[in-house]
């Protein structure tokens, strides 16, 4: 079974770029009909879909975040990445990576935007 683990800095300064890594084990991010996704959840709020990358490398982003978000990958490392530029306090959240189908998710990593 695929397992996913998020990692990255827990603290990012305003206006900087948030960068996270999702390490995947038990399956290849470049094979099959799978999407590799990022979602986030601010404290006390609901889930927000950020975007995803198909196994062929094609990406799709939330229109509200599209101008600031990039999802990329390193197939040799079996990792995919999230970058969010020009962050503000509103980007403070727990970030989760996952695979769809069938909806397997990591445990999440808290990123705080603060000076």
Partner 1 sequence: QAVVTQEPSLTVSPGGTVTLTCGSTTGAVTSGHYPYWFQQKPGQAPRTLIYDTSIKHSWTPARFSGSLLGGKAALTLSGAQPEDEADYYCLLYQSDGREFGGGTKLTVL
The residues that touch partner 1, with contacts defined as CB under 8 A, are 37, 39, 41, 46-49, 51-52, 60-64, 94, 96, 100-108
26: Cβ–Cβ under 8 A, 6 or more apart, which residues? 1, 2, 3
From the CB of 4, what's the least distance to partner 1, in Å? 11
Question: How many angstroms separate the CA atoms of 113 and 100, rounded?
Answer: 28
Closer CB to partner 1, 8 or 108, in the complex: 108
- By beta-carbon proximity to partner 1, the closer residue of 6 and 79 is 6
Minimum Å distance from CB 57 to partner 1?
A: 16
Alpha carbon distances (Å) from 72 to 44, 61, 82, 105: 29, 12, 7, 18
- Based on CB atoms, which residue is closest to partner 1, 16 or 105? 105
In whole angstroms, how close is the CB of 54 to partner 1 at the nearest point? 12
């Amino acid at each position: 079974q695929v397992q996913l683990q998020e990692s990255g800095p827990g603290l990012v300064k305003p206006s900087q770029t948030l960068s996270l890594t999702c390490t995947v084990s038990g399956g290849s991010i470049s094979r099959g009909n799978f999407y590799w996704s990022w979602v986030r959840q601010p404290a006390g709020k609901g889930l927000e879909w950020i975007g995803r990358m198909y196994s062929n490398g094609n990406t799709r982003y939330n229109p509200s975040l599209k101008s600031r978000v990039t999802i990329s990958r390193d197939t040799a490392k079996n990792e995919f990445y999230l970058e969010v530029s020009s962050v503000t306090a509103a980007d403070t959240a727990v970030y989760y990576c996952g695979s769809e189908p069938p909806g397997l998710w990591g445990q999440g990593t808290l990123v705080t935007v603060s000076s």
